[in-house]
Structure 1
Amino acid sequence: MNKLWVGFKNYRFFSANKSFFQLGVVWFTFSIILIIAIVLTYGVTINENYVGCISAKCYETFIDSYKLPIGILSLLIPIGAIYAAQHRSEISIAQIKSIESQNKFANYYKHLEEFNNLLTNNKCNETFLSVSKLHKQLFPGSRDGIFEIDEDTTKYLNNRLLLTHQNLKKLEKYIDSIKIDDVSDNSNLIKLLLTSHYPIVDIRKYLGFKDINYPLHSLKRKLKINEVYFSDIYQDITNTCQILEVILSFDQEYELLDELIMLAQMQYEQEKKDLSVNNPIKLKLRSSLR
């Protein structure tokens, strides 16, 4: 019963895709009124002994006798006018929605075109597998006229960036107190380096970068500190964050995370001092991280 009621409520009695006299509700209403009028007329006729005439008295008698069925038939005029007005209203609503849909469609492609131009001008368009998929990931509501970066995407990116920032801070702090000859120190160093980079790898996969740049798989616990190549990972973090600055700034209302700006501006210096074969390279990190 509930389904029947829901279906009745959702039925479009005044479809804008049909002409007025194609509407089922019009035919149904007119038919009911006509049937009632015919039945009443028949009832009056068979109960009276009328004969045909064209005198004024006859017309007066006709109007008086058949005033009820005539009154029922006269309801067709106001009801038809109401139905016609409602049908015109539905047509107007459909036209407005059609115009809005066309505008949204045009605005969506304009937004996508400008986004692609932004990436092209900043030489980032070849960085991604698909610019349109990246645009959809950042602006999933753009087809509906919503041109703000998705809230879930913002939360995900901020979470990854904060994690990278925190791990890099730990890494730089740890390097200051590292013991070169301690293998466990080397293991911790490698672990901190990789955990700093993994969130960036996640971001690159999430946004569809062509080059994922997985952390160096050759980094194992047994390696010595001088075999760890910091600059590649630091450079990948910085480059990724610089690209993020470009694409996120496309939304002028978007507030860039402070940590993102710092990671994008981060500078890395590796100071090498080859002391002997047995002594590893001394590493020194300097960056703009705060």
Structure 2
Amino acid sequence: MRAENHVPLKRWYGLWLAIGLPFGIALVVFLSILFSDAAVGERCYTSICCANFVALFKVPIAIAGLAIPAVAIVAAIHRSDEAAIQIQEALSNNVFGNYLKHRAAFVEYVDSKVDRLLSDKMRVVFDAAALYEHIYPRNGYAYFEVCSNRSYQFWTTLDARLDSLIRVSELPEDVERSGALIASLLGVFQLLQMRIENGGRLRGGSGLNESLEVGVVIGHDLPVALNKTVGLIFDVIKMLDSFAAAEYDYETIESEGLNVHWLRSVHDAVKNKIKYLKE
């Protein structure tokens, strides 16, 4: 029940119906007896007359008396409705407060982990607020959940983008794999709402791909830089999954997909077609 449906008991139609209906029926029965029963007789105030009055009009009196339990029932129903309104308002306030606290805790959690992900001058920068909306798409002022469902678009898209990154080494030789590598890394970074500052850069080696560029972790050569960057990606995924409790299977992807064999294959495919720059 919504709060705007609240009305005081004295203005509730059920109260006046509970009072008026028994009294109305009682009045009809009273008048019927009064004008049709010859035993009513003259007006009299003796004890015998009063006893006779009660005996004659006990049915309308009993009917009128039904108003008392009827009012009690109506009052109980009204109290129940009022309690439902209060509970609903309390739940709404709890959802609202829990959502704000959970969102703030997520942002604080991500920010607290940033300095541990990279060292020296390199930094990982997140848009934690936007990331929260992607991981918890249903959360808001009217709905709240602690765990992020594994079937939500964020996790399924992450699957697809990591798979795209894995498939770079399997692309045909006539495909510009350096551009595909950079585009795949960019796709993962954009989904995770992150970027690397003061690190290295990968730039496409030829044609249209020359305009593609992505920040990576600095290494003394391309394989090391790629290895560190992939490791950072999985550190971030592990960090997010530990908070969201989505039970994302990043360990299988890391061990069976983005492993040493993948790194070697990608390096052999792009080593002469990609520029690795240190800032």
* TM-score bin (small chain): 0.5 to 0.7
Structure 2 counterparts to residues 1-290 of structure 1, below 5 A: 17-48=6-37, 50-123=41-114, 127-129=125-127, 131-143=128-140, 144-150=143-149, 151-153=151-153, 154-165=155-166, 167-170=167-170, 185=173, 187-188=174-175, 190=176, 192-206=177-191, 208-209=193-194, 219-220=206-207, 231=222, 234=226, 239-252=232-245, 254-258=247-251, 261=254
Structure 1 residue runs of 5 or longer lacking an equivalent are: 1-11, 175-184, 224-229, 273-279, 284-290
Deviation, 1:115, is 0.8
- Residue matched to 2:213: none
- SS of residue paired to 2:243: coil
Q: CA-to-partner distance for each residue in 1:165-193, whole Å, 9 max, x for gaps?
A: 2x14426xx7xxxxxxxxxx4x33x1x34
- SS of residue paired to 1:127: strand
Q: CA-to-partner distance for each residue in 1:138-176, whole Å, 9 max, x for gaps?
A: 1134443311113223222223222322x14426xx7xx
Identity level (%):
17
Residues 128 and 209 in structure 1, CA contact (< 8 A), matched pair in contact too:
yes
Structure 2 residue runs of 5 or longer lacking an equivalent are: 116-122, 197-201, 211-220, 274-279
The TM-score with structure 2 as length reference comes to: 0.66
Cα distance, 1:222–1:68 mapped onto 2, change above 3 Å: closer
Residues 9 and 75 in structure 2, CA contact (< 8 A), matched pair in contact too:
yes
Greater relative contact order: 1 or 2 (C-alpha under 8 angstroms, separation 6 or more)?
A: 2
How many equivalent pairs are there? 238
Aligned-residue CA RMSD in angstroms?
Answer: 4.1
What CA distance in whole angstroms lies between the structure 2 residues aligned with 1:217 and 1:282? 10
More strand by share: 2
What CA distance in whole angstroms lies between the structure 2 residues aligned with 1:156 and 1:253? 14
- SS of residue paired to 2:244: coil
Deviation, 1:261, is 4.1
